[in-house]
């Protein structure tokens, strides 16, 4: 068997075995100790709750996925634009970087009610909160990546008369790609968290809304079903960015040979 295929199978099979053992232990423990499903439902009870209300869960999953995707996209575009400004303007970096750090240090849950109040009870506040939480890791890694360029390479570009536009797209951006993708993978999961927090605060749809609503009615199996769906979406989002990274970095290596 090809080594790459063998490695690929291992990365799928081992986590699947561990996950199966985890759920089996969970199921056995709940049944053995007679735990009330309001406190901790068994995985089988969570599955039954999910299968009983697919028309309720999956549209709300789509709402959360949409909010987190567009929040990730908005946060990423803003972070990239600000990072470019920081790299080419030391004054802009000195003036604005502290505010970016302050934004990161502020708990999102504290400003979520304000954002809902300002922008209304719609998808927009959730997208904004998702963008806010995704913004900082992308900004930091973009700035670090763009500044990784060696001084000798920058001087060589100047000797050949390359402008800032050419220098950025042919030198800085390719150099920064590994760091940028690392931040995008982190931000993809954070964007999901941001959307859920927004839905906790004030929303009539989304998996966060399902979790809050289920907790109100003490429907713990449905709550767990929504939490698990949130995790699954976060994993899928992360893996999509990882796949894009593998394709992009591979193409970059081919073009630089």
pLDDT of 254? 47
Question: How many domains are contained in the chain?
Answer: 2
Nearest CA to 64 among 228, 206, 202, 223?
A: 206
Whether residue 115 sits in one domain with residue 6:
no
Q: Judge whether residue 206 has pLDDT over 60.
A: yes
Claim to verify: residue 4 and residue 105 sit in the same structural domain: no
Question: How many other β-carbons are positioned within 10 Å of the β-carbon of residue 108?
Answer: 19
pLDDT one-digit tens code per residue, 73-122? 999 999 999 999 998 888 888 888 888 888 888 888 888 888 888 888 78
Per-residue pLDDT, 1: 46
Residues 155, 93: Cα–Cα separation, whole Å: 22
Q: Are residues 27 and 103 in the same domain?
A: no
Confidence grade of residue 3 (pLDDT, cut at 50, 70, 90): low
- How far separated are the first and last CA of the chain, in Å rounded? 29
Give the pLDDT band (50/70/90) at residue 56. very high
Residue 92 and residue 178 in one domain: yes
Decide: 130 and 194 in contact? Cβ < 8 Å: yes
Is the same domain home to 131 and 168? Answer: yes
The verdict on 160 and 226 lying in the same domain is: yes
Whether residues 18 and 76 share a domain: the answer is: no
What would the pLDDT profile of 140-157 be if each residue is shown by its tens digit? 999 999 888 777 777 777
Q: Which of 9, 142, 29, 132 is nearest to 80 (CA)?
A: 142
Asked whether residue 115 falls in the same domain as residue 234, the answer is yes
86 shares a domain with 23:
no
Arithmetic mean of pLDDT, 165-173: 81
Residue burial 224-242, b: 16+ Cβ < 10 Å; e: rest: bbbbebbeebbeebbeebe
Structural domain including 48 reads 41-255
The residue whose two tokens read 């913004």 is 135
CATH of the domain at 135: 1.10.3720.10
């Amino acid at each position: 068997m090809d080594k790459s295929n063998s490695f690929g199978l291992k990365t799928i099979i081992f986590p699947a075995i561990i996950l199966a053992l985890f759920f089996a232990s969970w199921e056995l423990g709940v049944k053995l100790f007679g735990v009330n499903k309001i406190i901790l439902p068994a995985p089988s009870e969570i599955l039954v709750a999910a299968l009983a209300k697919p028309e309720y869960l999956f549209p709300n999953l789509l709402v959360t996925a949409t909010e987190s995707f567009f929040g990730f996209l908005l946060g990423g575009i803003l972070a990239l634009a600000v990072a470019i400004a920081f790299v080419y303007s030391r004054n802009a970096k000195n003036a604005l970087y502290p505010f970016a750090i302050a934004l990161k240090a502020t708990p999102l849950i504290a400003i979520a009610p304000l954002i809902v109040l300002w922008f209304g009870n719609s998808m927009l506040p959730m997208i904004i909160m998702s963008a806010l939480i995704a913004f900082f890791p992308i900004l930091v890694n973009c700035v670090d990546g763009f500044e990784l360029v060696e001084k000798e390479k920058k001087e060589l570009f100047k000797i050949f008369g390359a402008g800032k536009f050419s220098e950025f797209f042919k030198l800085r951006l390719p150099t920064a790609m590994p760091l940028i993708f690392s931040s995008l993978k982190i931000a993809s999961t954070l964007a999901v968290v941001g959307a859920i927090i927004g839905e906790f605060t004030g929303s009539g749809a989304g998996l966060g809304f399902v979790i809050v609503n289920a907790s109100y009615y003490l429907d713990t199996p449905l709550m767990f079903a929504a939490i698990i769906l949130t995790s699954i979406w976060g994993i899928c989002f992360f893996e999509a960015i990882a796949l894009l990274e593998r394709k992009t970095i591979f193409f970059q290596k081919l073009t630089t040979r």
